[in-house]
Amino acid sequence: MASPATRRIVGAAMTGATYGAAALAIVPLAAILVMLLTKGAGSLDWDFFTRSAVPVGEPGGGFAHAIVGTLLVVGVACAIGIPIGVGAGIFLAEFGGGRFGWVVRFVADTLNGTPSIVIGIFAWAWIVRPAGRFTALAGSVALACILAPLVARTTEEMVRLVPNSLREAALALGYPRWRTSLTVVARTARAGIVTGCLVAIARVAGETAPLLFTALGNQFFSTNLLQPIAALPLQIYVYALGPYEEWHRQAWAGALVLILLVLILGTIARVATRSRHERA
Amino acid sequence: MTAPPPAAAWSPPDPAPAAATAAVPRLAVERLTAWYGDAAGIRDVSLAFEANRVSALIGPSGCGKSTLLRCLNRMHELVPDARVEGRVLLDGHDIYAPGVNPIAVRRTVGMVFQKPTPFPTMSIAENVAAGLKVGPPVSRSERDAVVERALRRAALWDEVKDRLHHSPLALSGGQQQRLCVARSIAPEPEVLLLDEPTASLDPLGAARIEELVHELKREFTVVIVTHNLQQAARVSDVTSFFYLGTLVETGPTAQLFTAPVQPQTEAYITGRFG
Amino acid sequence: MTALAPEQPLARAPRVSTAERWRDLRIVSPGDAVYRVALMLLALVLPLLLLAIVGGLVVGAWPAIRQFQLGFLFRSTWDPVAGQFGALPLIFGTLYSSLVAIVIAVPLALGAAIFLTEFAPRWMRTPVGTLIELLAGVPSVIYGLWGLFVLVPLLRDVIWPVVKPVLRWLPFFSGPFYGPSVLAGGTILAVMVLPYVAAVSREVLRAVPPAQREAALALGATRWEAVWTVVLPYGRAGIFGAVVLGLGRALGETMAVTMLIGNRHEISLSLVQPGYTIAAAIANEFAEAVSSLHLSALVYCGLVLFVITVCVNAAARWLIWRVARGSAAGSAAL
Residue B8: pLDDT band by 50, 70, 90 thresholds?
very low
What is the structure's pLDDT at C19? Answer: 65
Q: Which of C2, C12, C23, C25 to probe by mutation at the B interface, max B CB count within 10 Å?
A: C25
What is the structure's pLDDT at C329? Answer: 42
Average pLDDT over residues B80-93: 89
What is the structure's pLDDT at A204? Answer: 96
What is the structure's pLDDT at A262? Answer: 92
Q: How far is C33 from chain B (nearest CA, A)?
A: 14
- Digit-coded pLDDT (tens) for B161-170: 999 999 999 9
What is the structure's pLDDT at A59? Answer: 74
Q: Is the pLDDT of residue B56 over 60?
A: yes
Test B106 with A173 for CB contact under 8 angstroms. Answer: yes
Fold observed for domain A47-279: MetI-like fold (1.10.3720)
Q: What is the domain count for chain C?
A: 1
- E strand or H helix at B90, and its extent? strand B82-90
Q: Is A10 in the C-facing interface, judged by CB distances under 8 Å?
A: yes
Please check whether residue A225 is in contact with residue A71, taking contact to mean a CB–CB distance below 8 angstroms.
Answer: no
Q: How far is C204 from C156, CA to CA, in rounded Å?
A: 37
What is the structure's pLDDT at A140? Answer: 96
Higher pLDDT, B238 or A11: B238
Instruction: Give helix C88-114 / helix C236-252 axis angle, nearest 10°.
Output: 140
C314 class by beta-carbon count within 10 Å (0-12 exposed, 13-18 middle, 19+ buried): middle
Q: Is B75 in the A-facing interface, judged by CB distances under 8 Å?
A: yes
- E strand or H helix at A258, and its extent? helix A245-279
Q: Is the pLDDT of residue B17 over 80?
A: no
What is the structure's pLDDT at C193? Answer: 95
User: CA-nearest residue of chain C to B94?
Assistant: C22
Test A174 with B134 for CB contact under 8 angstroms. Answer: yes
Q: Is B106 in the A-facing interface, judged by CB distances under 8 Å?
A: yes
User: CA-nearest residue of chain A to C302?
Assistant: A118
Q: Is the pLDDT of residue C12 over 80?
A: no
Average pLDDT over residues B215-235: 91
Of A172, A176, A179, the CB nearest to B110: A172
Test C42 with A20 for CB contact under 8 angstroms. Answer: no
How distant, in Å, are the alpha carbons of A255, C5, C103, C105, C110 from that of A17? 33, 74, 16, 14, 11
Q: Is C115 in the A-facing interface, judged by CB distances under 8 Å?
A: yes
- Digit-coded pLDDT (tens) for C67-122: 988 889 999 999 888 888 999 999 999 999 999 999 999 999 999 999 999 888 99
Q: What is the dihedral of CA C156, C162, C164, C167, to 10 degrees?
A: -120
Q: Is the pLDDT of residue C44 over 80?
A: yes
Q: What percent of chain C has pLDDT over 70?
A: 88
Q: What are C's interface residues with B at a Cβ cutoff of 8 A?
A: 1-4, 6-7, 9-10, 12-13, 18, 21-22, 24-29
Q: How far is A115 from C302, CA to CA, in rounded Å?
A: 9
Extract the runs of DSSP E, i.e. beta strands, from C251-290. none
Q: What are A's interface residues with B at a Cβ cutoff of 8 A?
A: 97, 163, 165-166, 168-176, 179, 183-184, 187-188, 190, 279
What is the structure's pLDDT at C51? Answer: 97
- Digit-coded pLDDT (tens) for C128-176: 888 888 888 999 999 999 999 999 999 999 988 888 888 888 888 888 8
Q: Is B131 in the A-facing interface, judged by CB distances under 8 Å?
A: yes
User: CA-nearest residue of chain C to B98?
Assistant: C26
Q: Which of C35, C304, C313, C318 to probe by mutation at the A interface, max A CB count within 10 Å?
A: C35
Q: How far is C203 from C200, CA to CA, in rounded Å?
A: 5
Q: Is C287 in the A-facing interface, judged by CB distances under 8 Å?
A: yes
Has residue C124 been placed in a domain? yes
Q: How far is A11 from A15, CA to CA, in rounded Å?
A: 6
How distant, in Å, are the alpha carbons of B101, B126, B128, B206, C227 from that of B185? 20, 14, 9, 18, 58
What is the structure's pLDDT at B9? Answer: 45
pLDDT in tens, chain A (280 residues): 678 888 888 888 888 899 999 999 989 999 999 999 999 888 888 888 888 888 776 777 888 899 999 999 999 999 999 999 999 999 999 998 889 999 999 999 999 999 999 999 999 999 999 999 999 999 999 999 999 999 999 999 999 999 999 999 999 999 999 999 999 999 999 999 999 999 999 999 999 999 999 999 888 888 888 999 999 999 999 999 999 888 999 999 999 999 999 999 988 887 876 655 444 4
Q: Which of C90, C131, C145, C296 to probe by mutation at the A interface, max A CB count within 10 Å?
A: C145
Domain holding C131, by residue range, is 78-333
SS3 A229: strand
User: CA-nearest residue of chain B to C8?
Assistant: B149
Test A35 with C150 for CB contact under 8 angstroms. Answer: yes
What is the structure's pLDDT at A89? Answer: 96
CATH of residue C157: 1.10.3720.10
Q: How far is A228 from A197, CA to CA, in rounded Å?
A: 26
What is the structure's pLDDT at B12? Answer: 47
What is the structure's pLDDT at C303? Answer: 96
Has residue C63 been placed in a domain? no
Of A111, A117, A262, the CB nearest to C282: A117
How many whole angstroms from its chain centre is CA C116? 22
Q: If you count residue pairs, one on A and one on B, with CB atoms under 8 Å apart, how many are there?
A: 63
The domain covering B27-269 belongs, at the CATH homologous superfamily level, to P-loop containing nucleotide triphosphate hydrolases (3.40.50.300)
Please check whether residue C284 is in contact with residue A212, taking contact to mean a CB–CB distance below 8 angstroms.
Answer: no
What is the structure's pLDDT at C325? Answer: 60
What is the structure's pLDDT at C56? Answer: 95
Q: How far is A69 from chain B (nearest CA, A)?
A: 37
Has residue C55 been placed in a domain? no
Task: Give the domain ranges of chain B.
Answer: 27-269
What is the structure's pLDDT at B193? Answer: 95
Q: Is the pLDDT of residue B14 over 50?
A: no
What is the structure's pLDDT at A156? Answer: 96
How many whole angstroms from its chain centre is CA B18? 23
Q: Is the pTM of this model over 0.90?
A: no
- E strand or H helix at B240, and its extent? strand B238-243
Test B113 with A188 for CB contact under 8 angstroms. Answer: no
List CB contacts (< 8 A) between B188 and chain C: 10, 12
List CB contacts (< 8 A) between B104 and chain C: 24-27
What is the structure's pLDDT at C328? Answer: 40
How many whole angstroms from its chain centre is CA C94? 14
Please check whether residue A197 is in contact with residue A273, taking contact to mean a CB–CB distance below 8 angstroms.
Answer: no
What is the structure's pLDDT at A270? Answer: 78
Test B184 with A173 for CB contact under 8 angstroms. Answer: yes
Q: How far is C96 from C102, CA to CA, in rounded Å?
A: 10
Q: Is the pLDDT of residue B18 over 70?
A: no
Q: How far is A228 from A217, CA to CA, in rounded Å?
A: 6
Q: Phi first, then psi: give them for residue C80, nearest 5 degrees.
A: -60, -35
Please check whether residue B106 is in contact with residue B134, taking contact to mean a CB–CB distance below 8 angstroms.
Answer: no
What is the structure's pLDDT at C81? Answer: 87
Test C24 with B146 for CB contact under 8 angstroms. Answer: no
